[in-house]
Structure 1
Amino acid sequence: MKIAALQMQAVNGDSDANLARIAAAAKEAAARGAKLLIAPELAVSGYGAGEAFPKIAAPAEGELVERIATIARDHGLAIVTGFAEAEGDVVFNSALFTDGIGTNAVYRKSHLYGDYERQWFRPEAPTSVIVSHGGLNLGMLICYDVEFPENVRRLALAGADLVVVPTALPKGASGAFIADKMIPVRAFENQAFVAYVNHCGTDGRFSYAGLSRIAAPDGSLLAAAPAEDEALLFAEIVPSDYATSRAENSYLVDLARRV
């Protein structure tokens, strides 16, 4: 299955503008044969929306999610995107999967990063949210979650072929290390594909590292975005192509043997 990853510069607090950008990317991705489009963490609201989160947060079943589902349906692909999710008076930093034709799933970030996120969001207990699409099992995490190896391992043990990670990685030396070193290792040690999809540029509150990556089970990079500017990445996800890697690096099988 071909997937697309949108490295984008979101507009804080402007869901209409951000959804229009995602829709344009969905149109291009579908035209190039992609069956899944992944957008960054809080792409719909903008990661730096801050004080606007309580107002623009939306329920997992409602108008905003239906608008995203409509974009998916109109272009014949599934979408994973970050959004601020409201449940009563509580706001979660969430990721939505929708195929536009009846399958929706929401993952809530479990490991909040820094005082900024803890001010606006409630963490969820670590969970394994996996959906099937195009013959693949997709697991979802958000940004900081992937830096805890047990989160990716949990999804791999649950059968995830591809772990999608909408992120808001900040600019800096540690950001480059995470994108270039940690993400390929997460793929390698779990024998799974990892799509790590970031913002770029600055939104007036934060500056982002860019550096979106799609890594394969052998640790190679299938696609890589630059540090600056928007980009639409593409990669073919074919698990059978990595049978040799899985045979040589049998971590999951050997872990199961010890249980």
Structure 2
Amino acid sequence: MSSVTQPTARVPANLRRVSGIQTNVSFADTQANLARMLDWLQKDEVAASDLIVFPECMLSGYCFSSYDEAWPHAQSIPGPATDAIGDWCRQTGKFVAFGMLERGADGKLYNSCPLVGPNGVVDCYRKIHLPYLGVDRFTSMGQQPYRSFDAGGLRVGVHICYDGSFPESSRCLALEGADLLILPTNWPPGADTFAKYLPNARALENNVYFVSVNRVGTERGFRFIGQSRFCDPNGNPLADAPHEDECVLTAEIDLSKARNKRLVRVPREHVIDRWADRRPEAYGAITRPHSLVRDIEG
């Protein structure tokens, strides 16, 4: 790496700047994709950002046809890619999250997203909800409980692509203190409605910031639709990419807005508190195993 972006002066303590990188990915070429990430990290558009987020399976590509085909393109965490990204983070004081295939010590393959910072790997999320699609047909389900990761005082909740279809994922991450939910994705055609509405809804219902970071390009006949989006805690878009071109989405996060769950619209007359007003005792159906869910065909 020939040059390193220098850290910028810190803005007020309650503010953070986050960038999502909507980019193409080279299938089954980890070296090219690592170089692509490092190149994006040098660009002026991310120079002032505290956290940079890349798409799902950024390091490897997604459309593998078997476990054996995918395994050589997976890496351990920590490993070569997280070490290289960690070197950049160490020199800049910034954080990076990116999708990759992980070689588990148990011999299993995981669809993962590590968060890397100045001190190396902060933590890693393994995808829990696995669609019958692409490499997810051969990956194992993550077993860890949802939790938020600390990115220099910004609390980040990580989930991946299909996880976003399950509102329980976002809610658990928000309950674990996340200020920002990141959703690295590989959305193909058919996911346009998700891209258009899901980030807004998840941000609003949890009073958090939300960024979906999708890839673009074509891989083994699959086209990826872009349409990444950044939303504020009211569900309003802060940055949008309603297209399939490579780009950077950047927005400023006010930690105080994400952490204030009690919204006083009209004093003593209109107060919204989606935390205090929860009724967990009424939600038992959500946690029942699939086999116990009422048979809607019966």
TM-score (normalised: structure 1): 0.91
Does the 8 Å CA contact 1:44/1:83 hold for their aligned counterparts? yes
Size of the aligned set, in residue pairs, is 257
- CA separation of 1:180/1:118 partners in 2, compared to 1, >3 Å: closer, same or farther? closer
Aligned to 2:100: 83
Distance in 2, matches of 1:34 and 1:198, equals 19
- The correspondence of residues 91-106 of structure 1 with structure 2, limited to 5 A, is 91-106=109-124
Does the 8 Å CA contact 1:48/1:205 hold for their aligned counterparts? no
- In the alignment, structure 1 residue 27 sits paired with structure 2 residue 45: no
2:212 is aligned, of 187, 190, 196, to: 196
Give the stretch that moved more between structures: 50-59 or 204-213. 50-59
- CA separation of 1:243/1:163 partners in 2, compared to 1, >3 Å: closer, same or farther? closer
Aligned to 2:88: 71
Deviation at 1:127, TM superposition (A): 2.2
- In the alignment, structure 1 residue 240 sits paired with structure 2 residue 256: yes
- In the alignment, structure 1 residue 251 sits paired with structure 2 residue 265: no
Deviation at 1:205, TM superposition (A): 3.6
Q: Which amino acid letter does the alignment assign opposite residue 146 of structure 1?
A: G
Distance in 2, matches of 1:243 and 1:148, equals 22
Q: Which structure is higher in RCO with an 8 Å CA cutoff and minimum separation 6?
A: 1
Query: What stretches of structure 1 of length at least 5 have no aligned partner?
Result: none
Distance in 2, matches of 1:30 and 1:74, equals 18
Deviation at 1:103, TM superposition (A): 4.4
- The correspondence of residues 1-259 of structure 1 with structure 2, limited to 5 A, is 1-28=16-43, 32-51=47-66, 52-88=69-105, 89-125=107-143, 127-172=145-190, 175-241=191-257, 246-247=262-263, 248-255=271-278
Deviations 1:31-55 (A, max 9, x none): 5300110000000111224454211
Deviation at 1:257, TM superposition (A): 9.0
Deviation at 1:116, TM superposition (A): 3.1
Q: Select the structure that is richer in helix.
A: 1
Distance in 2, matches of 1:195 and 1:29, equals 20
Give the stretch that moved more between structures: 43-52 or 88-97. 43-52
Q: Which amino acid letter does the alignment assign opposite residue 98 of structure 2?
A: T
Q: Which amino acid letter does the alignment assign opposite residue 137 of structure 2?
A: Q
- CA separation of 1:243/1:37 partners in 2, compared to 1, >3 Å: closer, same or farther? closer
Q: Which amino acid letter does the alignment assign opposite residue 278 of structure 2?
A: L
Distance in 1, matches of 2:94 and 2:57, equals 20
Larger Rg: 2
Structure 1 SS opposite 2:225 = coil
Structure 2 SS opposite 1:253 = coil
Does the 8 Å CA contact 2:208/2:258 hold for their aligned counterparts? no
Q: Which amino acid letter does the alignment assign opposite residue 195 of structure 1?
A: V
Does the 8 Å CA contact 2:147/2:176 hold for their aligned counterparts? no
Q: Which amino acid letter does the alignment assign opposite residue 61 of structure 2?
A: G
% identical equivalent positions: 31
Deviations 1:71-121 (A, max 9, x none): 323443110000000014210000010003234211000001114344320
TM-score (normalised: structure 2): 0.80
Distance in 2, matches of 1:138 and 1:225, equals 22
Distance in 1, matches of 2:258 and 2:171, equals 18
Does the 8 Å CA contact 2:157/2:180 hold for their aligned counterparts? yes
